[in-house]
Amino acid sequence: MKSEGHKKQAFLRVLKYSSGGVIEPAKLYKLKHLSRVEVITNEPSGCTFTMGFDNLSSQSVAPPQWTMRNIDDRNRILFCILNVCKEAFGRLPEVVGIDVVEMALWAKENKPSVITQKNQQAGHGPVSTRVAESDLKVTVEKYLISTAEEDDMEALLGSYVMGIGEAEAFSARLKRELLALEAANVHAMLESEPLVEEVLQGLEAATHCVDDMDEWLGTFNVKLRHIREDIESIETRNNKLEMHSVNNKALIQELDKLLERLCVPSEYATCMSRGKFDEARMTQNIEACEWLTGALRGLEVPNLDSTYGNMRAVKEKRAELKKLKATFVRRASGFLIKYFANLVDSVMSDKNYFSQRGQLKQPDHADLRYKCRIYAHLLQHLKSLDKNCLLPLRKAYCSSLNLLLRREAREFANELRASTKVSISPTTWLEGSPRGNQIGNSTDTSGLSDAYIKMLTIFIPLLVDESSFLAHFMCFEVPALVPPGVGANGNKRGSNDDLGIMNMDSNDSKADLQSLNESLQDLLDGIHEDFYAVVDWAYKIDPLRCISMHLITERYLSGQQADAAGFVRVLLGYLASKISLQFNRFVDEACHQIERNEHNVRQMGILPYIPRFATLAIRMEQYAQGQSRDLVDQAYTKLVSIIFVTLEKVAQTDPKTYDIFLLENYAAFLNSLYDVANFVPTLAKFYQQASGAYEEACMRHINMLIHSQFERLFQFARKIKDLMFTVSPEEIQFQLGLSKMEFRKMLKSSLSGFDKSIAAMHKKLQKSLTSQELLPSLWEMCKKAFMDKYVGITQLAARIYPTESIPSVSEIRNLLASL
């Protein structure tokens, strides 16, 4: 406790042990704010209590709570706190959960001697002071009476005997007292008769006065009723007048607001009807458009009460604003149409802007777009005023810019062709002299591909940018674009999404999409012709460059999938189709060159287009670079099929040389395409087909040579095989012409002079071939085929003529090896 004059302060300090075991202050509470002390009844030991402070009631802080070691410690601390509050503040906090009398009894039983320590100012250390019990006693008059008062009440109750214990005596006493009271009342009434008479006379006089007063009051009541009715009538009329006044005031306010909305500012009216559209005045024009848009919207039903919509003034003002809108839209549209045309004319009149002889210039539309962006906000407001006015504006813009793009592409393509120096490659790859073919192979035509790449590199990004600028500048409401072939939800799109713009559900969006497609077509109409001119020029110089150009176009197509101009993808698709068409034209011409050999019936040896096709395939693979496989593989399929068909037709013109002609040409085909077929699957398939046809032609020719040289030997064996279907092997030697003697004669005539017969067969084979490099392999095939047939004859002879001797297989094989 602290005392400052007449003011006392009391504090409750809470200490705690620090981490080092030292006691240090933790919390300080002011006891003047202590309003409630509550012992927790739910706690079994009863040693836990909380103290409520009124300065903490507005905070989300739980009341401080303590738990003592036992009941005595709890009572001791609570007794001390209550005593301090009584002494310092003259009041006690509310005590809940413990009886104050119980506290007083506990204090009487426990008479502690409290020793307090005071720090002397002189610093002589603590001094013990004993506090008496009476100093710490808590007074509880609020709840109990004092001891002296209790003793006085007992003495008073003891001195008065009511006799309640004797019921009959008490009842008789009450009756006597009641009779005495009644007698006293009657006596008093008899003594007061004159007074009663006087009172009755006074009452009668008062009755007459009351009756007169009643009449007066009735008269006054009638008058007051009439006055009340008059007042009510006046109040009713007054209320109506006040209501009319309020309504008229509100009506005037509404009419003032309506007049403000119907008023057309003179500066806006002048700007929209006679103003100019130069760059300096665009801010005024935009403000006028914004005001006009807001005014028209404010006169529509959602923003204007429907009752106002039928007013003549509103109708007239709406008509006036629509007329003003039509005038402004007409003037602005006419200005922009002329502005776009003049802007493009000023660029086209400058020859230095375009590519010239010896100088390729990349088109730069930055300044053009900057001048157009000046009127971008005006276009947006024109769309909000009248969406139909954008159609002629879009057509005018696309038409003017299309002229510029066509001129730029044409001049660039012309100078590109003129500046590219490339030797012309022969278009007749599969006919003509070998020397010309070699020259065609050595010609470097990579400049054609470089020129085509430069054309695409310059103009495709330009067209993409112009298409995106058109969509934004001309206020097309289309969403973000998605890759072609994929819808907004990830599903495959149909063919109607040709520009790569995703489908939209609303009819307005679909109409805007269709309008954008039409505008893009107007913007880029005819520009493909200048790209076609570059493709045709490259085709005339080197038709095989179509492969590399097709590859380049496919790369651009894959790179344009997420760009903002779908029509550019359509243009690239047209280019790819054009290149494919030109290449197919080259392939068809090559097929015609091959078919011309069919009419030359005296063809012998290897046809010239066989090795030239291999050279053509190598060149095509160099251009394809492992890509554009569909285009190249289709060409391979068409060319090789024609080669094989033509080979068969030419070979059939001379049956004697049929097999020789086929095997030589198939061998040339296999030798020339061996390296290419190893890494080209399509050619590998035809390589296998040619290999099978070559083996079949070889076997037919070899069998013909063997049978012609050893005809009697193999005919005798064939007769035996035919008879074996009907006659048993043991009986064949007894058949006519197949006896043992006939068998010996056949062997003698066929195998005598065997070396000469083999030499004649070799000479005949060598003479029939025009390609002598095939002779070794064919001769080995011939010897193997003869040995296979001879092995069959020896086995047949062992079954039919077991007793006859015949040259063994090893003897014949050694003899063939020695020749």
- Domain assignment present for residue 394? The answer is no
The per-residue DSSP string of 563-628 comes to SS-HHHHHHHHHHHHHHHHHHHHHHHHHHHHHHGGGG-TT--SS-THHHHHHHHHHHHHHHHTT--
Distance, CA of 609 to CA of 645 (rounded, Å):
13
Q: pTM to 2 decimals? A: 0.56
Write the pLDDT tens digit of every residue in 387-437.
Answer: 888 888 889 989 999 898 888 888 888 888 888 877 766 555 555 444 434
Domain count, the chain: 3
- For tokens 């890759």, name the residue: 483
* 96 and 192 within one domain: no
> How many H helices and E strands in the chain?
29, 10
Task: Outline where 275-389 has alpha helix (H).
Answer: 282-298, 306-309, 312-348, 366-373, 376-385
* 743 and 648 within one domain: yes
Compute and round to an integer the Cα radius of gyration of the chain.
64
Structure tokens at 727: 């006659």
Provide the 10 A C-beta neighbour count for residue 34: 24
- Domain assignment present for residue 492? The answer is no
Distance, CA of 647 to CA of 595 (rounded, Å):
10
* 178 and 104 within one domain: no
* 188 and 106 within one domain: no
Write the pLDDT tens digit of every residue in 583-632.
Answer: 888 888 888 887 776 665 456 677 777 888 888 888 888 877 767 678 88
pLDDT at 115: 46
Provide the 10 A C-beta neighbour count for residue 399: 16
* 804 and 656 within one domain: yes
- Domain assignment present for residue 673? The answer is yes
Task: Outline where 724-808 has alpha helix (H).
Answer: 729-732, 740-751, 754-768, 775-800
Q: Give the angle subtended at the CA of 418 by the CAs of 414 and 420, to the nearest 5°.
A: 120
Write the pLDDT tens digit of every residue in 108-120.
Answer: 788 755 444 444 4
pLDDT at 234: 92
* 211 and 88 within one domain: no
* 765 and 646 within one domain: yes
- Domain assignment present for residue 471? The answer is no
What Cα–Cα distance (Å) separates residue 539 from each residue in 426, 499, 616? 11, 29, 15
* 798 and 663 within one domain: yes
Q: Give the angle subtended at the CA of 56 by the CAs of 55 and 60, to the nearest 5°.
A: 150
Asked if residue 649 lies in contact with residue 661, where contact means CB atoms within 8 angstroms, the answer is no
Q: How far apart are the first and last CA of the chain?
A: 142
Tell me the pairing of strands 11-17 and 94-96. unpaired
- Domain assignment present for residue 325? The answer is no
- Domain assignment present for residue 286? The answer is no
Q: What is the largest CA-CA distance in the chain?
A: 203
pLDDT at 660: 81
* 788 and 670 within one domain: yes
Residue among 507, 512, 516 at smallest CA distance from 566: 516
Domain termination residue (choose one: 81, 110, 139): 110
Domain termination residue (choose one: 110, 136, 159): 110
* 786 and 664 within one domain: yes
Q: Give the angle subtended at the CA of 792 by the CAs of 790 and 797, to the nearest 5°.
A: 95
Distance, CA of 32 to CA of 87 (rounded, Å):
12
Residues 6+ apart with CB under 8 A from 200: none
Distance, CA of 7 to CA of 512 (rounded, Å):
87
* 761 and 647 within one domain: yes
What Cα–Cα distance (Å) separates residue 10 from each residue in 1, 87, 201, 369, 515? 4, 10, 77, 84, 88
Below-70 pLDDT ranges, the chain: 57-61, 112-146, 149-150, 152-154, 156-166, 255-256, 258-264, 298-310, 356, 358, 424-443, 478-512, 560-566, 597-604, 626, 628, 819
Domain termination residue (choose one: 110, 142, 157): 110
The per-residue DSSP string of 77-142 comes to HHHHHHHHHHHHHS---EEESS-HHHHHHHHHH----EEEEEE-TT---EEEEEE-GGGGPPP-TT
Asked if residue 636 lies in contact with residue 680, where contact means CB atoms within 8 angstroms, the answer is yes
- Domain assignment present for residue 241? The answer is no
| Residues paired with residue 30 on neighbouring β-strands, in sequence order | 11
* Host domain of residue 768: 608-818
Kindly state the helix (H) or strand (E) to which residue 561 belongs, with its residue range.
Answer: none
* 186 and 103 within one domain: no
Distance, CA of 13 to CA of 31 (rounded, Å):
10
Asked if residue 85 lies in contact with residue 31, where contact means CB atoms within 8 angstroms, the answer is yes
- Domain assignment present for residue 594? The answer is no
pLDDT at 487: 39
| Residues paired with residue 9 on neighbouring β-strands, in sequence order | 2
pLDDT at 231: 92
- 491 secondary structure, DSSP code: P
- The CATH number of the domain where 86 resides is what? 2.30.29
